[in-house]
Amino acid sequence: MYPAESGLSFVDAAVIGGIGRRGPISASELAQQLTMHEGQLSRTIQGLEKARLISRVRDPADSRRKLLMLTRDGRDFHLTVAAVQERRAEDLLEGLGPAEREAFFRALDVIAANAETLLNESACEEEAGRSSDGPA
């Protein structure tokens, strides 16, 4: 089963995957890790709660804070999708030997680090632009 076959959207599956990979997590941390707008995440969370795929629990370290976690059905969905994704990833890498796969993943790590740097620089530039637009 893949998200489309389940009736869930790609965003739903990304949120379930994010919670499944990271364990109980706050909505703001999840939004940051998924680079998702908090408003969109909030709507997605509400739908997934109604579908009984995720739940909110009190943070044992801070009782004022809520954490998101998968329900049993949410864990089942996450594991099913993860297995499909793993098979598809293997299909994509078919024909590459161990050394080629290692080089490919090293290159992806560099690309991801570069992308994160660019995103951070862009965010800083936006913030600086907002600061300079204020009253003089």
Q: Tell whether the torsion through CA atoms of 11, 103, 93 and 23 is positive or negative.
A: negative
Residues 117 and 76 in one domain: no
Q: Find the CATH number of the domain harbouring 74.
A: 1.10.10.10
Q: Which domain holds residue 71?
A: 3-94
Q: Give residue 132's pLDDT.
A: 64
Q: What is the mean pLDDT of residues 29-42?
A: 90
pTM: 0.68
Residues 54 and 109 in one domain: no
Query: Would you say residue 3 has pLDDT above 80?
Result: no
Say which residue, 88 or 125, is predicted with more confidence.
88
Query: Would you say residue 22 has pLDDT above 60?
Result: yes
Q: Give residue 131's pLDDT.
A: 66
Residues 115 and 135 in one domain: yes
Residues 90 and 100 in one domain: no
Residues 68 and 127 in one domain: no
CA dihedral 40, 46, 52, 58 (to 10 degrees): 100
- Cα 54 to the center of its chain, rounded Å: 14
CA dihedral 105, 106, 108, 109 (to 10 degrees): 120
Q: Give residue 111's pLDDT.
A: 94
pLDDT classification of 122: cutoffs 50, 70, 90: confident
Residues 71 and 133 in one domain: no
To which residue do tokens 């389940």 refer? 6
Task: Give the number of domains in the chain.
Answer: 2
Query: Would you say residue 136 has pLDDT above 60?
Result: no
